[in-house]
Amino acid sequence: MKYCKKCVLPDTKPGLIIDSDGICSACRAVENKHKINWDARRDKLKEICDQIRGTNGNGYDCIVPVSGGKDSFTQAYVMSKVYNLKILCVVIMAHLQTEEGIENLNNLVEKLNVDVLKVNTRPSTLAKIRKIAFLKVGNPNYAEHRVVFSAVARAAYFYGAPLVVWGEDIGVEFGGNITQSSLEDGSAKDLINNDLFREIGFEDLIKDVISDDEIFFYKYPDRETIKQKNIKSIYLGYYQWWDGIKHYYLSKSFGFQDRKDGYLPGSAVTYDNFDEKLCEVHSWLKFVKLGFWRPHDHTTYKIWNGYMSRPEAVEVVNNIQYEFPAYLPEFLDYHQLSENTFFEKVEELRNHDIWIKKNGVWKLRYELQ
């Protein structure tokens, strides 16, 4: 396990490569971003918006998936206020929302004065798929990832919207696997092949457990069907520099709220991924499997955008990376799991190549320096 010399990401991150100079592929991608003509990219986005605006009659020009967080607020703001499109925001409702999550989503709709389609999947089905995904592959949030991508595509098809605007390509922004189409023109047409969607065979996962009439919103529409509708899907991060901290200040100026109780365990910021409770354990499981999680992501992002030095990031990560995630009781209750079953699965998932037990406590074999 090696760490990048410029950021704090390890080579255990899927798709991340550290070169002979000790620099990771994500940092190299950031270097390349500084060479991009962003004015030309923005002009191209304006051209796309000018071409599709009003072509759907009285319907929507654009579908924007949102959660109420800082980044999706920025997506909705840019497309509705900067490029003057008639947008429909699509939100997949969390089943264990936080108070701040509810308030921030309501604030987005009110302050931007946009229509919103709320997708509430059948609670029993979501709970079953989450539990199966956790117990079989250690990825409980896979269920939500399926619904987000599939429901947004179905909304675009149903409403005839010619454009879908996602935020960032996680492969580009965070050093994962990258599709060629997103590099060439910011297209999100291969989105279902990204790291969040492709790692599990859905049909095999739910076989003999979930019936077909329960999974409409979990199944991505036929590609040919989407193609015939001529729906264009893009990443906004291809057309403008993606800076989550600037997004935070923009959303804050419109009333966005930080987490009222301050930092979540393992978090280096108070404004990211706190709108629902079930994602906490999911985020921490990455630490068990890969040796990094939220503190590495937060501080690396600050390094890339010039808000933090690497030595500062190393200190922050080493101070908080071993903190245990919040909301475990809620996670266990929701999935009808005992604490023993949960920790047995955690130990199954633990990567012993990078973990070692010292005096009864699990520690990483390779500490960040």
Give just the sign of the alpha carbon dihedral 51, 55, 59, 65: negative
Which residue has tokens 């393992």?
A: 266
Q: Is the pLDDT of residue 97 over 90?
A: yes
Predicted local confidence at residue 191, as pLDDT: 60
User: Beta strand 355-358 with 361-364: parallel, antiparallel or unpaired?
Assistant: antiparallel
pLDDT of residue 175: 67
Task: Please choose, from the candidates 190, 166, 162, the residue with its C-alpha nearest in 3D space to the C-alpha of residue 178.
Answer: 190
pLDDT above 90 for 187: no
Give the model's pLDDT for residue 240: 95
> Residue 192 has what pLDDT?
56
Encoding tokens for residue 217? 């919103």
pLDDT exceeds 80 at position 171? no
Amino acid occupying residue 328: L
Helix, strand and coil content of the chain, in percent to the nearest 5, comes to 50, 10, 40
Question: Domain boundaries in the chain?
Answer: 1-35+264-356, 38-238
Token pair for residue 72?
């999706």
> Which of 318, 306, 331, 316 lies closest to 366, judged by CA?
318
Q: What is the pTM of this model?
A: 0.91
Q: Rounded to an integer, what distance in angstroms lies between the CA atom of residue 125 and that of residue 110?
A: 31
Q: How many angstroms separate the CA atoms of 166 and 237, rounded? A: 8
Give the pLDDT confidence of 109-156 residue by residue, as tens digits: 999 999 999 999 999 999 999 999 999 989 999 889 889 999 999 999
What pLDDT does residue 60 have?
98
Tell me what pLDDT residue 182 has: 46
Asked whether 296 and 286 are in contact (CB, 8 A), the reply is no
Per-residue model confidence as pLDDT tens digits over 202-253: 777 777 788 888 888 888 887 777 778 889 999 999 999 999 999 999 999 9
| Four-residue CA torsion sign, 240, 142, 152, 295 | negative
- Cα–Cα distance, 356 to 287 (Å, whole number): 13
- pLDDT tens track for 266-321: 999 999 999 999 999 999 999 999 999 999 999 999 999 999 999 999 999 999 99
List 64's β-bridge partners, or say none: 89
Write the pLDDT tens digit of every residue in 304-316.
999 999 999 999 9
Sheet arrangement for strand 232-235:
115-119, 87-92, 62-65, 163-166, 232-235
Residue 177 pLDDT more than 70?
no
Mean pLDDT score of the chain: 91
The pLDDT tens digits of the residues spanning 312-354 come to: 999 999 999 999 999 999 999 999 999 999 999 999 999 999 9
pLDDT at 190: 64
Q: What average pLDDT does range 171-182 have in this prediction?
A: 61
First to last CA, the chain: 12
User: Distance between CA atoms of 107 and 275, rounded to whole angstroms?
Assistant: 13
Q: Which residue has the tokens 């020009």?
A: 61
pLDDT in tens, 32-81: 999 999 999 999 999 999 999 999 999 999 999 999 999 999 999 999 99
pLDDT at 181: 45
**Looking up tokens 């908080």, which residue turns up?**
320
pLDDT given at position 176: 62
154 alpha-carbon distance from chain centroid: 19
Average pLDDT (258-268) is 96
Q: Extract the tokens encoding 89.
A: 């925001």
Which CATH number is associated with domain 38-238? 3.40.50.620
